[in-house]
Amino acid sequence: MATNTVPAPEQPRTLVGKAALEVDDRLPIAGWLRRTMNKVFPDHWSFLLGEIALYAFVVLLLSGTYLTFFFDASMREVVYEGSYAPLRGVDVSAAYDSTLALSFDVRGGLFIRQMHHWAALLFVAAICVHLLRIFFTGAFRRPRETNWFIGVALLVLAMLEGFAGYTLPDDLLSGTGLRIFSAVFLSIPVIGTWVYFTVFGGDFPGELIIGRLYILHVLIIPAIILALIALHLTVLIKQKHTQFPGAGRTEHNVVGNRLFPTFAGKATALFFIVFAVCAALGGLVQINPIWLIGPYNPAQVSAGSQPDWYIGFVDGGSRIFPPWEIELWGYHIPPVLWGALGLPGVMFTVMALYPIIERKLTGDTASHHLLQRPRDVPVRTGLGAMALTAYIVLWISGGNDVIAEKFDISLNAMTWFGRIGFILLPPIAYWITYRICLGLQRHDREVLEHGIETGVIRRLPNGEFIEVHQPLGPVDDHGHGVLSYGGASVPKKMNQVGGARRAIKGFFRPIEEPAEVQRQAEREARGLEAEEASRELTRSGRPAEGGRPSAGGRPREPRD
Amino acid sequence: MSTTDHRPGSTGGADVPGPLHGGPDDDYTPQQLAAMDRTELDRLGARYDAVEVLHVDPVPEPGSPLERKAARQVTLWFAIAALSAVAFLVVYAGSNWFLPDWSWEPGDSGWSALFTPLLGATMGLSLLAIGVGLVLYVKKLLPHETAVQDKHDGSHFDRVTTGATLVGAWHNSGLPRRKLLGGTLAFMGAAMGVMLIAPLGGLIKNPNKGNPLGTTPWADGLRLLRDDGTPVRPGDQVPGSLETVFPAIPGGNSVHHSDAAVMLIRLRPDQMETLVTPAGQEDFGYGDYLAYSKICTHAGCPVSLYEQETSRILCPCHQSQFDVTQGARPVFGPATRSLPQLPIRVDEEGYFVARSDFREPVGPSFWNMGRLN
Amino acid sequence: MSTTNPSSEAPVDSHRGLRARFGRRPVAGSPAAAARDRRRSKQRRRLANVAGLMAALVLTGVGYSVLAPGASAADDSTGTASNAVEAGQELYTRSCITCHGANLEGVQDRGPSLIGVGEAAVYFQVHTGRMPLVRQEAQAPERAPIFTEEQIEQLMAYIQANGGGPTMPSGDLRDGDLAAGGELFRLNCAQCHNFTGEGGALSSGKRAPSLQEASDLVIYTAMLSGPENMPVFGDNQLTPEDKRAIINYVQTIKEQADPGGAGIGRVGPVAEGLVIWTVGMGSLLFGIFWMGTKA
């Protein structure tokens, strides 16, 4: 009868096994699941930076959903009658009123609200650190330009999302921020007033803007962010991870842990740790105390009115930009345009186009899956340091009044520091970074050529004192190492090559290197031959291999 | 997969399926797979996914002191996580039940002020302990393997065959030949796209209807009121003072008239000596009183950090500084225009009133501000 | 003032003043009560005008020494008023005359005239240690006062006797509506002193000092006298009730706990940005370093 069915010699006997079979019968998933679980992830801490941002976003979604149950995004005027006495009887908007209510009259509401705000700050911060890692290691190069571009878009969207959220409580601080935002719209040439009236539905602030920002904040922008994150990860999985150069690592493989269970365990752990940091900050450190700030009133303002940190550089740009207003035939282009719109606009455009710019400048159109050490690309590293310096100057200028007040510096001097520093410091940062990169490169070459400084001083028969160097690999007739630089980290201390016999538990090291050394030490202790597998891993002639004292490489002295 | 079904709608045993899956299912018979142990199967599957497990660091021997120690550590962290979660629940649900009230009122510094920090500390500790426990579990109790996976570039075969399908369909559609149809399709697409977003045009508001950007509620004879609604008399302020005043209309001090706030400044006698009034504004003040718009001409923040000795008004947002003895001219920072001055006089009852609206737009500059009538 | 102006135009009356509304709340919200309250506040303000002048003469010796914390003795208040003036003059000649001149007329580029500044200004300046000045700089820094309470009183008496001016307040300085005080604080004070009174920067090295250490009397006298660059808030601009409401608000906010955890200076987003980068990102970077290490 059953001629075409395969007789299964081992049918699952356990309940779980049977259930799994039932599922796979209906939804053939086993193959996909195995491929996913077998996916190899590189094991280096810097690959987890993007995950911090991802998990912060998850915390934002969870806590934000909670907040929507209580928040009323309306600018309707009400009289506050809640439990916070110093505001009782004050005219406030429904948005402000409901934010106060969810802070003080909802059990745990303040905690969730603060967790949401901290997670937002963390989200953008993690994106920035992740972006810096990608930039400085050249991970944006072909074929990953698309993902770089998506990442930049995510950063911009995260900032807009954060700004919208910052504005929603309609307190004095965020209202002031919104007013500045309105001035930025107004400053756009030709269509500025139209944009301004369209955004606010009339003159500032109108009665619509909180509702509009709300739908942007809880639906439109998060949906776009979510879609882009999905795309970002899909592209990542399709293209597979980059990795740092090292033993056995090539452009055509990925060395690390399989997703299941090692990487999945660590990723889950990281989610809980990110969640823990948001929760702890949310409860232990007060953020945006809108009851102290007060409701928005266009005639009131507080000293030290600042946006959240990620908009700080825009504010800084507006603060230090000189009073240059272009006026032609009664048409005005105010300075706000350049400081608050032009500067970020140029910044993000250059950032988004950087992979293309670099490709044009270097003529390097090849695909790259191995990362570069920042020192090996001094121009890019210098440019990055330059951009970072300019950003930090703007950022400091964004808080220059608080800095002036706390450190007793003249406010005007701080403004001038920003103006001059923005022009002067980036080139200096470029030059210094460039020189540091070259210095580090030279030291790498020196160690490869002459070996590691052992700290052992020997006196030669002719009375000359020399320091004994440990070569990293085979040497030529002159005692110079013949290894060439392979883009990987060069060991510079004896214990990194097993010279100290026990691997240091490298806190800042990728996991394979000490493991290899430690395994070797264990094997030696047991008097066993090295395994074939380890030969496989290290055969590509990367500098981590060879020269190990155990491999017969006794410390040698250079001839010259 | 029953083959004995002869009911209507079934082809019964005559419908023979093709080869099951091909690929590995052809390479390995169920019997062969059954003969392999779990590790072998795992490695086999990995090889099919281009993954080679290079090396596995063994876990500590089960029952060894090292293993027991690691297991104890992990257990301890998970126990901390559980206890902290319980502590969170106790604080959360117990407040106002067997614990003091959680609801905070100004002046409270007891339990209610500690409620949120306690929630944060317990939840944070609980989640952190889960994370730490998991990391320790992975690091100390799971075998640490080093695997390598091959990376494949795009397949030439896939490209050629997919391309053939796409280009074939394109040619079969005849669109390359049917120019008119193609053009119409493009036009239709564009028109439909614009049609779909056109309703957003309802958002657009005309900023030039009634000159809302060039005018404020101020008008001739309108009194200058304090925020409590009382009018101001010339004797009310002492020299060296500043007061924020609003037009005497309903909602004068509210978000509905965000450009209306005015600073009424009374100068000291020595400031009067250095007073320079801009041309055309000589009679805008009243004695030693001057009235300027409170809205910064840079980005619209309320300026009002009045330094009465240096005669400067500072904006707290971007640090523009204006000199009130020189027609509120900007002397530092990014602002480019003077604060507009409100012409004032005193009415027959002795209260300050405006003589007219501002003569220029209030607040930040914009494109056609010089062309408003 | 509206009592002298019963026929004030309609918009004025229809403007529902904040303070009027605050006034209404405690008395069960009847409009009549609100009007009465408002009238009373006007009367009080007019009374204060007269009282201000009277107080200049009367309160000099009497009021303050009763009120002053640790005032040496209440019994010498009547008899030794002129003695206090003389002692004050002596102190003045010793410590202040260089900058403020022999006849309080001020010295060019050194110090302003003290005629008419009143005892409130003296109290503020000397009690917060701003005067006598050690050296000329952008702004006089706060220090521990140099003079004793008694000496300060004598100085105050001397200045008050020469030209008069704003006098010391009496009674409970926190006797005002909290919420109304908050509105007034945000409208008149927060722009320089920050929304929680943490202080802020002004132009060219000057700053609005933090109110954290300021006593009720110091805040009151500062508003009344407008020290240095601070504008003056005369009694006809901010009534004594308004001032008390503001003080009530400032001191309440200062003493109030932070229900959301550590207040991190209550200066707003700059401190928050610092915390997320150092504590938040810092601890997470530490975490992922640790996760990447071998067991």
pLDDT (0 to 100) of residue C67: 45
| Local confidence band at B109 (pLDDT 50, 70, 90 cut-offs) | confident
pLDDT of residue A546: 38
Alpha helices in B257-337 (DSSP H): 269-273
Q: What is the number of alpha carbons within 13 Å of residue A501 lying toward its C-beta?
A: 2
- Å from A228 to nearest chain B CA? 22
Q: What is the mean pLDDT of residues C171-181?
A: 88
> Which of B66, B74, B111, B227 is best to mutate for the C interface (most C CBs within 10 A)?
B227
B94-115: buried (b, 16+ CB within 10 Å) or exposed (e) per residue?
A: ebeeeeeebbbebebeebbbbb
Q: Which of A554-558, B2-6, B225-229 has the lowest mean pLDDT?
A: A554-558
Residues A41 and B142: their CA atoms lie apart, in Å, by 16
pLDDT at A440: 95
Residue whose tokens read 């090889």: B47
Question: Residue type at A225?
Answer: I
Mean pLDDT of C221-228: 86
| Burial (CB count within 10 angstroms: exposed 0-12, middle 13-18, buried 19+), residue B73 | middle
Provide the pLDDT for residue B20.
59
Question: Which of A45, A85, A408 has its CB closest to that of C288?
Answer: A45
Interchain proximity B233–C1, CB inside 8 Å: yes
What's the rounded Cα separation, in Å, for the pair B41 and B33? 7
Interface test with chain C among A59, A287, A315, by most C beta carbons within 10 Å: A287
Burial A95-130 (b: 16+ CB within 10 A, else e): bbbbbbbbbbbbebbbbbbbbbbbbbbbbbbbbbbb
ipTM associated with this complex: 0.91
Of C134 and A127, the one with more pLDDT: A127
Chain-chain contact of B302 with C234 (C-beta, under 8 angstroms): no
Q: What is the mean pLDDT of residues C111-128?
A: 80
For residue C102, the distance in angstroms to the closest alpha carbon of chain A comes to 34
List A254's β-bridge partners, or say none. B149
**Whether pLDDT at B365 is above 70:** yes
Q: How far apart are CA A349 and CA C76, in angstroms?
A: 77
Compare C129 and A428 and report the one with higher pLDDT.
A428
Q: Say whether the peptide bond before residue C132 is cis (omega within 30 degrees of 0).
A: yes
Give the separation between CA A450 and CA A437, rounded to whole angstroms: 20
What pLDDT is recorded for position A519?
61
Shortest distance between the Cα of C272 and any Cα of chain B, in A, equals: 16
- Collapse the DSSP code of B63 into the 3-class scheme (helix H, G, I; strand E, B; otherwise coil) and give the result: coil
Mean per-residue pLDDT for C112-122? 79
Interface of C with A in 232-271 (CB under 8 A): 249, 252-253, 258-264, 266-270
Amino acid identity at A30: A
Contact between C201 and A303 (Cβ < 8 Å): yes
Q: Which of A319-328, B25-34, C242-251 shows the lowest per-residue confidence on average (mean pLDDT)?
A: B25-34
What part of A 505-524 touches B (C-beta under 8 Å)? 511-512, 515, 519
Q: Is the distance from CB of A320 to CB of A394 less than 8 angstroms?
A: yes
Beta strands in A14-108 (DSSP E): 40-41, 77-79, 91-93
Among A281, A297, A314, the residue to mutate for chain C (most C Cβ within 10 A): A281
Q: What is the mean pLDDT of each run of 10 residues along chain A (560 residues)?
A: 48 88 90 91 90 96 96 93 91 94 93 96 96 95 93 96 95 92 92 92 89 95 97 92 88 89 92 96 94 92 90 92 88 89 93 94 91 94 95 93 88 92 96 96 90 87 88 82 85 74 50 54 56 42 40 41
Selection from B240-244, B297-301, C151-155, C278-282 with the highest mean pLDDT: C278-282
Q: What is the pLDDT of residue C71?
A: 39
B40 exposed, middle or buried (CB, 10 Å; 0-12, 13-18, 19+)? exposed
Look up residue A474 and give its two tokens. Answer: 């085979």
Tell me the nearest-neighbour CA distance from A489 into chain C, angstroms. Answer: 17
Q: How confident is the model at residue C116 (pLDDT cuts 50, 70, 90)?
A: confident
The residue whose two tokens read 């507009």 is: B340
Which residue has 């904006």 as its token pair?
B315
Cα separation, B201 vs B355, whole angstroms: 40
Of the ranges B22-26, B60-64, B124-128, the best mean pLDDT one: B124-128
- Cβ–Cβ of A114/C261 closer than 8 Å? yes
**Which chain A residues are Cβ-neighbours of B47 within 8 angstroms?**
none
Q: Calculate how close chain C gets to B345, using CA atoms only, in Å.
A: 17
**Which of B127, B146, B213 is closest, CB to CB, to A275?**
B127
Which residues have CB under 8 Å from C79's CB, separation 6+?
none
Relative to beta strand B344-346, strand B329-332 is: unpaired
Please tell me the distance from the alpha carbon of residue A178 to that of residue A212, in angstroms, as a whole number.
Answer: 13
Distance (Å, whole) CA B142 – CA B120: 31
Range in B20-29, B249-258, B275-284, B296-305 the model is least confident about: B20-29
In Å, how far are A60, A95, A431 from A68, measured between CA atoms? 12, 11, 50
**What angle do helix axes A221-239 and A145-167 make, rounded to 10 degrees?**
160
Cα C182 from Cα B6, distance rounded (Å): 85
Could you report how far apart the first and last alpha carbons of chain B are, in Å? 84
Is C264 buried (19+), middle (13-18) or exposed (0-12) by CB count in 10 A?
Answer: middle
Closest CA relative to residue B227, chosen from B245, B248, B249, B243: B245
Within an 8 Å CB–CB cutoff, is residue A63 touching chain B?
Answer: no
Residue-averaged pLDDT of chain B: 88
| Closest in C202, C228, C236 to B305, CB measured | C202
Q: Look at C28 and B51; give whichever has higher pLDDT.
A: B51
**Residue in B with minimal Cα distance to A264:** B138
The H or E element spanning position C4 is none
CB contact under 8 A, B131 and A276: yes
Q: What is the pLDDT of residue A455?
A: 83
Which pLDDT value is given to residue B202?
Answer: 92
Helices C240-255 + C216-225 axis angle, to 10: 140
**Within an 8 Å CB–CB cutoff, is residue C20 touching chain B?**
yes
Q: Which residues pair with A465 in a beta bridge?
A: A459
Give how far C89 is from chain B: nearest CA, Å: 27
Q: Which two tokens stand for residue B164?
A: 């053939």
Q: Where are the beta strands (DSSP E) in C172-273?
A: 200-201, 207-208
Contact B54 A248 (CB under 8 A): yes
Q: Does B320 touch chain C (CB under 8 A)?
A: no
**How far A560 CA lies from chain B's nearest CA (Å)?**
41
Q: What pLDDT shows up at residue B87? A: 96
More confident residue, C117 or A191: A191
Q: Nearest C-alpha of chain C: how many angstroms from A331?
A: 31
Inter-chain CB pairs, B–C, below 8 Å: 138
For B364, the closest of A7, A183, A205 (CB atoms) is A183
In DSSP notation, A283-343 reads HHB----HHHH-B--TT---TT----GGGHHHHHHHHHS----EEETTEEE-HHIIIIIIH
Q: Per the CB < 8 Å rule, is C12 touching B223?
A: yes
Touching chains, A (3+ CB pairs < 8 A)? B, C
> What was the pLDDT predicted at A388?
95
- B348 in contact with C, Cβ within 8 Å: no
Q: Which residues of A touch B259 (CB under 8 A)?
A: 203, 298
* Cβ within 8 Å, pair B227-C237: no
Kindly list the residues from chain B whose CB atom is less than 8 angstroms away from the CB atom of residue C260. Answer: 116-117
- With beta carbons under 8 A apart, name residues in chain A contacting C264: 285-286
Alpha-carbon gap, residue C237 to C239, rounded angstroms? 6
Q: Which two tokens stand for residue B190?
A: 């564009």
**Paired tokens of A110:** 């303040």
What pLDDT is attached to residue B373? Answer: 60
Torsion of CA A251, A253, A259, A265, to 10 degrees: -60
Contacts of C273 in chain A (CB under 8 A): 121, 308-309, 312, 399
Q: How confident is the model at residue B278 (pLDDT cuts 50, 70, 90)?
A: confident
Q: How far is C200 from chain B (nearest CA, A)?
A: 9
Contact check, Cβ <8 Å, C259/A273: no
Contacts of B319 in chain C (CB under 8 A): 203
Nearest CA among A391, A393, A385 for reference residue A434: A385
Q: Is C86 exposed, middle or buried (0-12, 13-18, 19+ CB in 10 A)?
A: middle
Please give the share of chain C, as a percent, with pLDDT higher than 90. 17
CB pairs under 8 A between A and C: 213
At C43 the pLDDT is: 54
Searching chain A, which residue's CA lies closest to the CA of residue B143?
A: A262
- Is residue B366 within 8 Å of A192, Cβ to Cβ? yes
Residue B22's pLDDT band, with cuts at 50, 70 and 90, is: low
Alpha helices in B36-64, H assignment, sequence order: 38-48
